[in-house]
Chain A
């Protein structure tokens, strides 16, 4: 109980600190801006790389998300919610990119934690994900790979929780079918 309240207190402190950074950024403080970018860049690039399956495009999208977020900072009502605000922008940009372009996957830096031989699996996964509609693909990745909760996926994609549940159900079923077909070919 003590741990939970201590953790919540720490989270609140972080959010307050972030609100201060956002406030300073609003007044043109480049140091605060840099600090905000450093805080959120890893999460944004990783999510974009997982959704888009393209490292270079992921960086582009993350940069675009930062630009858009700071351009539309006046729309942010609660400065403490900057994290979810920019994450939502990034996910939306990723889905837009998926809609526009179903590109062939490019080489990605191998994950240190994944077992040997996972490169081939990853290539297959990228091809299978590219066959899903963008909304389904993004929902599946956010839930399964990024391990977001239903509520978090719903907020990130700006849709109701029921829609997330329905999309996830469909996406899993389609992905299983594609996966089974790919393994039959091999």
Chain B
């Protein structure tokens, strides 16, 4: 069931009245309409009650006293993290370069311990043994004897 034109006008005015206020003619219209229309009277009271309840439900939460300290600490951490992010590619590049240089130097530099043992670089190797020594027992193979029954 659709609303009457006057009801629609009343409700539209009522919804916008908190901000812009109503002109004298509009106020008169609303007063007369709400007097005559039961539905709009209920609408009006519901709107007022809902608005009042909403306003009274305001929360006065201000947070703990140490909130400012917490925020300042978080901002400081964030600054450091962002600075690290800015320098991270450079740091990664520097570390990689250092590792590469270290590896190259390791390859190119002769081993001093090796040199101390053998200036020529060959004598330090263990001498090859002349005889091969087996320190395990080979399984004995049974000797073949002539069969005496042959004959």
Per-residue CB proximity of A158-177 to B under 8 Å, as 1/0? 00000001001100110110
The residues of B that contact A41 with a CB separation of less than 8 Å are 62-63, 67-68, 71
B window 48-81: CB within 8 A of A: 49-51, 53-64, 67-72, 74-76, 78
B56 touching A118 by the CB < 8 A rule? yes
Give the size category of A's interface with B: 35 or more
Q: Give CA–CA (A121, B58) in the complex, Å.
A: 11
Per-residue CB proximity of B20-56 to A under 8 Å, as 1/0? 0000000000000000000000010011011101111
Asked if B149 CB lies within 8 Å of chain A CBs, one says: no
Q: Dominant SS at the B interface?
A: helix
Query: Which single residue of chain B is at the shortest CB-CB distance from A42?
Result: B62
Residue from B15, B19, B53, B55 whose CB has the most chain A CB atoms within 10 Å: B53
Q: How many residues of B contact A (CB 8 A)?
A: 33
Query: Which single residue of chain A is at the shortest CB-CB distance from B77?
Result: A67
The residues of B that contact A67 with a CB separation of less than 8 Å are 71, 74-75, 78
Asked if A49 CB lies within 8 Å of chain B CBs, one says: yes
A49 touching B76 by the CB < 8 A rule? no
Given A46-B62, A67-B74, A172-B15 in contact, is the A38-B57 Cβ separation under 8 Å? no
Asked if A33 CB lies within 8 Å of chain B CBs, one says: yes
A45 touching B46 by the CB < 8 A rule? no
Given A45-B61, A49-B59, A112-B60 in contact, is the A145-B54 Cβ separation under 8 Å? yes
Asked if A3 CB lies within 8 Å of chain B CBs, one says: no
Query: Which single residue of chain B is at the shortest CB-CB distance from A58?
Result: B61
**B53 nearest CB across to chain A (Å):** 5
Residue from B50, B74, B78 whose CB has the most chain A CB atoms within 10 Å: B50
B78 touching A140 by the CB < 8 A rule? no
Given A41-B71, A169-B15, A179-B46 in contact, is the A62-B63 Cβ separation under 8 Å? yes
Asked if B16 CB lies within 8 Å of chain A CBs, one says: yes
Asked if B82 CB lies within 8 Å of chain A CBs, one says: yes
The residues of A that contact B70 with a CB separation of less than 8 Å are 63
